[in-house]
Each structure stands twice: as structure tokens, then as C-alpha cells.
Amino acid sequence: MSRMGNKPIALDSKVKIDVSGQDVVVTGPKGTLKHTLPEGITFTVDNGVLTVARDSDARQQKMLHGTTRSLLNAMVVGVSTGFKIDLELSGVGYRGQLAGNKLSLNLGYSKPVEYVIPKGVTASMSDQTHISLESIDKQLVGQVAATIRGFRPPDAYHGKGVRYAGEKLTLKEGKKVGA
């Protein structure tokens, strides 16, 4: 029995779900998201509660049951409240600039790293060392944040680099000098 797949999803009154075949379209105040349901997975909406069901107890169906429920939940949350990820640049001389949808990061390399923010993600910078990414698509905003962090992941010895806001780092101890 899939525990995650059987968990109901509470729908906001502003969220609307449309189905045509296996395609699901979720519309809310922030926007619209679309997903294709796998074969054998269905859902029902009763009194503002969405429940996901599967046709059989085959192993593949069980796996898809929980995954589909999680994806639908992320879509509902995304169109109603959205997702936000904050990044911090930590290190001497590490800073960024945002011009339109182009992010320019000085991360200790000889040239700045240029990154174009994809459509569907809104970026803002409160100062030169803090980046905020917002989107209705959880996967897209997470991928953009991971890509930006990948330009200079936090160093294990000094902690310099791009990190998620509030990320705790365990720094390694350096070499000992002397006998």
C-alpha cells in the first residue's frame, strides 16, 4: 500500500483542475501548470479534496502512484502560493548583478559567470550577495538554483561559494603544521 499516494490533497477554492484524457491542467491565481498522468493512475476531486488512485498493485503502479500524487501536490501549491529559493554568495569579492533576466556572478574566476534566467522563473537581488528565485514550477526553480550553485559550490575548507540560504556547512580541518 502506498502511504504517500493515498494521502489526500486539499484544494484551495481558487484552484481549478481540468482533465482531458491523461492530461491534467491545474489553474490558480499565480498561473497554469500541465502534467500527463501515467497509464493506470487516476484521480478524483470531491468537496475540495483531490485523491489519487491506481488500477493494480503491480510494483511499477505503486511507484507511480506516490510520485504522481507528489507532482500533483506540487502543482497545486505552485499555482496557489508558488515556490521560493534563496541563495547566498559568501566569499571575499563574490558578488552578483542582475540585468533583466541575465545574472552576472563574480565568483573568483578570471571572468564573470553569465547565466540567463529561464522563462518561468523570476529572479531578484536584495543586495549583491543574495539571490531570490521564485516560480510556480517546483522542479524548474530547484533546477535553476542547483545550476547557479554548481558554478561555485561551497568550499569544504573555507565555506566560500554559492550556498542555499540557511545551509549549514561542516568545514574540514586544515593541515596541522609542526610535529
Using one digit for the tens of pLDDT, what is the confidence trace for 8-19? Answer: 999 988 999 998
* Average pLDDT over every residue of 93-107: 95
> Can you tell me the distance from the alpha carbon of 29 to that of 65, in angstroms, rounded to the nearest whole number?
27
**Tell me, what's the pLDDT at 100?**
92
Q: Mean of the per-residue pLDDT values for the chain?
A: 92
Asked if the model's pLDDT at residue 2 lies above 60, the reply is no
Asked if the model's pLDDT at residue 167 lies above 60, the reply is yes
pLDDT, tens digit, 9 for 90 and up, residues 117-157: 999 999 999 999 999 999 999 999 999 999 999 999 999 99
Q: Please say whether the beta carbons of 90 and 161 come within 8 A.
A: yes
> Can you tell me the distance from the alpha carbon of 154 to that of 159, in angstroms, rounded to the nearest whole number?
5
Sequence-distant (≥ 6) Cβ neighbours of residue 137 within 8 angstroms: 33, 78, 83, 120, 121
**Tell me, what's the pLDDT at 174?**
85
**Tell me, what's the pLDDT at 74?**
96
Asked if the model's pLDDT at residue 102 lies above 60, the reply is yes
Pairing of strands 161-164, 9-10: unpaired
DSSP state of 22: T
Domains parsed from the chain with CATH numbers: 3-80 (3.90.930.12), 83-164 (3.90.930.12)
Phi, psi of 134 (to 5 degrees): -130, 145
Beta-sheet strands, E only, within the chain: 9-10, 16-20, 23-27, 32-36, 41-46, 49-54, 83-90, 95-99, 102-106, 113-116, 121-127, 130-135, 161-164
* Average pLDDT over every residue of 147-168: 94
Q: In the structure grid, which three cell numbers stand for residue 64, read together?
A: 507511480
pLDDT, tens digit, 9 for 90 and up, residues 39-52: 999 988 888 899 99
Sign of the CA dihedral running 38, 20, 139, 72 = negative
Asked if the model's pLDDT at residue 179 lies above 70, the reply is no
> Can you tell me the distance from the alpha carbon of 100 to that of 3, in angstroms, rounded to the nearest whole number?
44
